[in-house]
Amino acid sequence: MKLDLLAMAAHPDDVELSCGGTLLKMAEAGYATGIVDLTRGEMGTRGDVETRRREAGAAARWLRVRHRESLGLPDARLTADEASKMAVARVIRKLRPQCVILPYWEARHPDHYTAAQIGYEGCFLAGLKRLRLEGEPFRPFKILYATAYARVRPTFVVDITKQFERRRRAIASFGSQFLPGRKAPRTKVFLAIDHLTEEMELLARYYGQMIGVRYGEPFVVKELMQVEDVVALPVRSL
């Protein structure tokens, strides 16, 4: 399988929260899209591996991705070691994505910023001809960083207004995380996930407002963006 767009993140539900609307929008435009979860989320306070696997499958259907898999790296213990980077290089050679979305390289959760490093270095290694790894050498053309969690000014924002409802349903597919119900174990420990869906909706509204639409998802790229038609640029200045 060859993908046009691949989103890679640390845990099941990270992609849905940070760039799910963009993945769906690209799928609706006819692009082949996919998700790679680096871990199975086994260290989460709620849910278990099998539950989260089923939830990830349901969310993938809402986002209309053609492929989803987990690399099974250790949750809450991600390190940019050779084995982890080679695992990413292997999946990059297999899926051959034109564009890859990674988490932003600064974050509260160590797994999130470590995932950015593993993802970037794995993408680079995948293109080395002399790398002792199965598959033909391949390197993605473009890497985007999803900045929904980060307090940085994005390079650009994608309008996901039409995709927002399906993105919301994809996030809600992770019921063990965001809709635990009465049977969920009670804890006095602060859980960021208890406020995450509301926070992400507010952020989508905020970034949408920045470009004059209802909902948006922000991204950063490290290189300059090329523009061919300055007259047709979107987003009003005055």
CA distance linking residue 145 with residue 154, whole number of Å:
9
- In single-letter form, the type of residue at position 99 comes to C
Determine the average pLDDT of the residues in 15-38: 98
Percentage of residues in the chain with pLDDT exceeding 90?
82
Q: How confident is the model at residue 26 (pLDDT cuts 50, 70, 90)?
A: very high
Q: What is the separation of C-alpha 12 from the centre of its chain, rounded to a whole number of angstroms?
A: 9
Question: Is 232 a domain residue?
Answer: no
Res 203 pLDDT > 50? yes
Determine the average pLDDT of the residues in 208-229: 97
Strand partners, 9: 37
Question: Is 182 a domain residue?
Answer: yes
pLDDT tens for 82-103 read 999 999 999 999 999 999 999 9
Eight-state DSSP code of residue 142:
E
Question: Is 226 a domain residue?
Answer: no
pTM of the model: 0.92
Determine the average pLDDT of the residues in 198-223: 95
What's residue 191's pLDDT?
44
Question: Is 175 a domain residue?
Answer: yes
Which residues, 6 or more positions from 102, have their beta carbon under 8 angstroms from its beta carbon? 8, 9, 115, 116, 119, 120, 143, 144, 145, 146
The answer to whether the CB of 89 falls within 8 A of the CB of 125 is yes
Question: Is 233 a domain residue?
Answer: no
| Residue ranges making up the domain that contains 179 | 5-220
Question: Is 225 a domain residue?
Answer: no
Domain of 153: which CATH number?
Answer: 3.40.50.10320
Question: Is 141 a domain residue?
Answer: yes
Which residues, 6 or more positions from 93, have their beta carbon under 8 angstroms from its beta carbon? 126, 133, 134, 135, 136, 137, 138
Question: Is 66 a domain residue?
Answer: yes
What's residue 190's pLDDT?
40
Domain count, the chain: 1
The answer to whether the CB of 80 falls within 8 A of the CB of 46 is no
